[in-house]
Amino acid sequence: MRKTSTLLADGRELIYYDAAGDADRSAVDRRPLPKTTSSSEIRYNALLGERVGYAAHRQSRTYHPPADQCPLCPSAGERLSEIPSDSYEVAVFENRFPSFGGDQGRCEVVCFTSDHGASFADLTEEQAALVLSAWTDRTDELSRLPGVKQIYCFENRGAEIGVTLAHPHGQIYGYPFVTPFTERMTAAVAEHKRRTGGNLFDEQVAAERADGSRVVLQTPHWIAFVPHAARWPYEVHLYPARRVADLRELDDAERAEFPGAYLELLRRFDRLFGPDAGPTPYISGWHQAPFEAPDRSDFALHLEIFTIRRSADKLKFLAGSESGMGAFVSDVLPEAAAARLREVASE
């Protein structure tokens, strides 16, 4: 993999990731952009013990532009975008409209391909492997920034999720705090270890493997299953068979096997509701150990993917119980969801 770092016109960093080393990445951003400023603020909710971010400048971010004005496509002639080059494989840049930034973490955009009409599921295994390399490199680089406590590499896909740019892309958040979900997970793992001496992640993966009714996919180095207490209609967790704390600790065999397993999962999600339902909206993201956790080795890296679609023509909205009280009520049993995800496996 070749990595080329440059600066955009307003001073933000742009990094190209190429499988080979012969691509020309000398193109300069010719847009007359003012210096980027961020007005983010983070406040602490003492009653819930969690932080809330405020980013008023995001109100002016790009919203559903036509395809010929997509800011994530390569630049072409006088149509200038966030990517100065006229082609790219994988590109990562600092978000122009970050949820937080400066001394309060960092937000980056990851463009998976220059093909505007594609999706992650359309990538080849070689392209998906390059994205994995970019995620890993960014995790390593952002871990060195002062104030970054946790890295989350994720993709929001589909207008139903709230995506405002149709180009296949994801984001990376370098949080200046440990997120509420991760705090709850690490606390549960620590308490279980105190009581039993065991690792809760390992035991849950072993239980799913032994039960089998919710297992969706297995390879020598990865296992994917619908969790016993899934919150979303169709929710899958993908774990390496060996517990590691973050993406940097995956070995060569695990990296080589990941693209095939992940692409198969995404393609199954797109087949869940039949050919007339259109692409399935989803959120997919890597859960990694916080950098200042007391014992990072107790955390298990895993990817969670879920959709808010519960049937071909119905969405799962977070209504009173979920939004008001954080108490989920799902319409689909995890065992039924897993069975359906096995049914739509590639032939």
2-32+40-175 architecture in CATH? 2-Layer Sandwich (3.30)
The domain limits of the chain are: 2-32+40-175, 180-343
Is 116 marked as binding a ligand? yes
Buried b (16+ CB within 10 A) or exposed e, 76-95: eeeebbbbbbeebbbbbbbb
Q: Which of 162, 8, 209 minimizes the C-alpha distance to 93?
A: 8
Decide if 309 contacts 274 (C-beta within 8 A): no
The reply to whether 70 sits in an annotated binding site is yes
pLDDT of residue 102: 75
Quick one: pLDDT at residue 213?
98
**CATH class held by domain 180-343:** alpha beta
DSSP H helices, 34-172, are 125-142
Q: Look at residue 322 and give its three-state secondary structure.
A: helix
107 belongs to an annotated ligand binding site: no
Q: Are strands 90-94 and 106-111 parallel, antiparallel or unpaired?
A: antiparallel
Instruction: Tokens for 31, please give them.
Output: 């847009």
Q: pLDDT by residue for the chain (347 residues), tens digit each? A: 999 999 999 999 999 999 988 899 999 999 999 887 767 889 999 999 999 998 877 766 776 799 899 999 999 999 999 999 999 999 999 999 898 877 789 999 999 999 999 999 999 999 999 999 999 999 999 999 998 999 999 999 999 999 999 999 999 999 999 999 999 999 999 999 999 999 999 999 999 999 999 999 999 999 999 999 999 999 999 999 999 999 999 999 999 999 999 999 999 999 999 999 999 999 999 999 999 988 999 999 999 999 999 999 999 999 899 999 999 999 999 999 999 999 999 97
Cβ pair 224, 238 in contact under 8 A: yes
Contact by Cβ (8 Å): 102, 113: no
- Just list the catalytic residues: 169
Predicted pLDDT of residue 35? 83
Reported pTM:
0.96
User: Considering only CA atoms, which of 280, 283, 286 is closest in space to residue 267?
Assistant: 280
SS3 77: coil
| Equal CATH topology for 2-32+40-175 and 180-343 | yes
Is 167 known as a binding-site position?
yes
Convert 262-289 to b/e letters by CB count within 10 Å (16 or more is b): bbbbbbbbbbbbeeeeeebbbbbbbbbb
Report pLDDT for 60.
65
